[in-house]
Chain A
Amino acid sequence: MTNKELNLKSVFLRKNLLKYIYIAKAGHTGGSLSCVDILNVLYNRVLNVNPDDFKNPNRDRYIQSKGHCVEALFVTLADRGFFPESDLETLCQYQSHYIGHPTKKVHGVEQNTGALGHGLPICVGEAIAAKLDNKKHRVFTLLGDGELPEGSNWEAFLSASHYKLDNLYAILDYNKQQITGSNKDVMNTDSVREKLESFGWAVKEVDGHNLEQLEDALNSGAFEEGKPNFIIAHTTKGKGISYMEGVLKWHHGVPSEEQYALAMSELNEMQALIS
């Protein structure tokens, strides 16, 4: 896949996640748009995972800690061939396995998440196991910035550096917003870089909507030998849809028919620009 095709895929995934949120009349719109570029790069450039051999013990692990942004994950997995995209028409419906958070009932999902602050500790366990078994695969998680105050994250930050887990990558979707307001107003997590470095992690900062920067950071190997890797991806909540960007209510807002049409036309324009 060329870089241009990868950029087009980001637009396609945005359209799709909006489509299924619109059909389901439910979903975490802003945060999905904020992390979908990260997922695009992970699943199309970084992760060694195969829909036909998903249980391969040597696969890379991706555990989405900010589970509420499941729509971004589901459309990415569908696009990678883990399941037919049309399955997503049942999103959030009675007896569907495609619910509002990742579950292992869906092919391609590593762990059931949704309660914040659980992904990283599980990744620490996976990364320790990989080291114990001399396996070369890597372990990735995606954290929300509002999620950071969960104490379990800081317990895991300590464990990861204690066990020198340089096979572990934690990506922070740093959109600076959560439900109630900005991180600054709700619970200040400024100086994340300094905090993580002081916990013994190697840190890189990237533009979380710049696919090349993301790929560079995620594919250049361990940032420092013996240290877990932390990627601060600076992002915008609602990225790509003008009226959603940085607007709080789109955390779990569902577009009306008109808003949906407007979003699609904006994405069509973006698509035309890239092509």
Chain B
Amino acid sequence: MELDKINETELKLGKANQVVFSETLQELAANDTSIIAVTSDSRGSGKLVPFGEKYPNQIVEVGIAEQNLVGVAAGLAAAGKKAFAVSPACFLSARALEQIKNDVTYSDNPVILVGISAGVSYGALGTTHHSLHDYAVLRAINNIVVVAPADNFETEQAVRHAAALKKPVYIRLGKKEMPFLNEADKTFEFGKGRVVREGDDLAIIAIGETVYPAWLAAKKLENELGIKTTVVSMHTIKPLDTDLLDRISANGRPIITVEEHMVNGGLGDACASYLFQKGSRNPFHIVGIPDEYTVTGSQVEIFSHYGISEEGLFNQGKEMMSQYSK
């Protein structure tokens, strides 16, 4: 791919990924009556009010009962429905974890779990409403694809691919409007990271809503310091794109990972584990939410507090490059 195509200077702003999820699901449902949305008083936050109005026979509401939500979705899937269980990621991946483990993945009922307002999207509603554990717990469960799309394109693709896959999938979505990344690349496959910026000096491997600040930091590193950075949207954390990790690590450059998740057990750990075991010794740093009482505030405030920002990632990249070139 030509560098000037991929290294765009301006990005076009899109919608919130969870809006695109709902729009895509409506498109799919128009031609497929086996699509069923299952909600737990969550259709408003899941942007599914129009879905419910258009397809009243394709939505099952269980009330505020997330365990029941996932169990019911498993039953629907067992009976041949394409069940999308939609609930805030915090409750879906914690409250209903045993249903995910036993009734969905272990029993191989192909439910698509859609975790909305994920990570710290709920900001000042606090820890009860944050999902900073979902990658970690789901990575430790067999038979589930774990995806966090970065932009509207990846979201639409993830929803379409999940509907076709006939395997358990967890799709993690945020509620902030996201810009389109690398519009020249229209390929999408679960388990294949998307390179959204290219450069040989440094790499930032990001996921979900952190890809955009990573992209901004890469642009700033290039403009201000001439540091050329590859940025990856590693939308699928399980299975992980190890081929891409091989490619990125090959020249020994520093690697930063960044995620809207606790630093324990998420994308950074997944990459580090793979790279270390295969013997790579790239300078490596995990950016995420540390193992502490999470600072309070909005998503943006929490992000910048922990360096999940253009500024924070710029500084991290700059520091690693100066260490590395010594």
B165 within 8 A of partner (CB): no
- By DSSP majority rule, is chain A's interface helix, strand, loop, or mixed? loop
Given the complex, which residues of A lie within 8 Å of B127, measured CB to CB? 112
A161 within 8 A of partner (CB): no
A75 nearest CB across to chain B (Å): 17
Count A interface residues, CB 8 Å.
30
A146 contacts B64, C-beta separation under 8 Å: yes
Given the complex, which residues of A lie within 8 Å of B41, measured CB to CB? 146, 178-180, 186-187
How many Å lie between the Cα of A116 and that of B88 in the bound state?
Answer: 12
**Among residues 132 to 160 in chain A, which have CB atoms less than 8 Å away from a CB atom of chain B?**
146-151
A114 within 8 A of partner (CB): yes
How many Å lie between the Cα of A93 and that of B298 in the bound state?
Answer: 8
Given contacts A149-B64, A178-B41, A187-B61, contact A99 B90 (CB under 8 A): no
Contact bitstring B294-325, A, C-beta under 8 A = 1, else 0: 01111001000100000000000000000000
**Among residues 281 to 299 in chain B, which have CB atoms less than 8 Å away from a CB atom of chain A?**
295-298
Given the complex, which residues of A lie within 8 Å of B128, measured CB to CB? 67, 101, 112-115
Given the complex, which residues of B lie within 8 Å of A115, measured CB to CB? 90-91, 94-95, 128-129
- Chain B residue at smallest Cβ distance from A188: B63
Given the complex, which residues of B lie within 8 Å of A101, measured CB to CB? 125-126, 128-129
Q: Which B residues form the contact surface with A (CB < 8 A)?
A: 39, 41-44, 61-68, 90-91, 94-95, 122-129, 295-298, 301, 305
The 13 listed contacts between A and B (C-beta, < 8 Å) are: A94-B297, A95-B297, A97-B296, A100-B126, A114-B126, A115-B91, A115-B129, A150-B64, A151-B67, A178-B41, A180-B41, A180-B44, A187-B64
Beyond A95-B296, A96-B124, A151-B67, list 18 extra A-B contacts (CB 8 Å). A93-B296, A94-B305, A95-B297, A99-B125, A99-B296, A101-B128, A112-B127, A112-B128, A114-B125, A114-B128, A115-B90, A117-B95, A147-B64, A149-B64, A150-B66, A179-B42, A186-B61, A187-B65
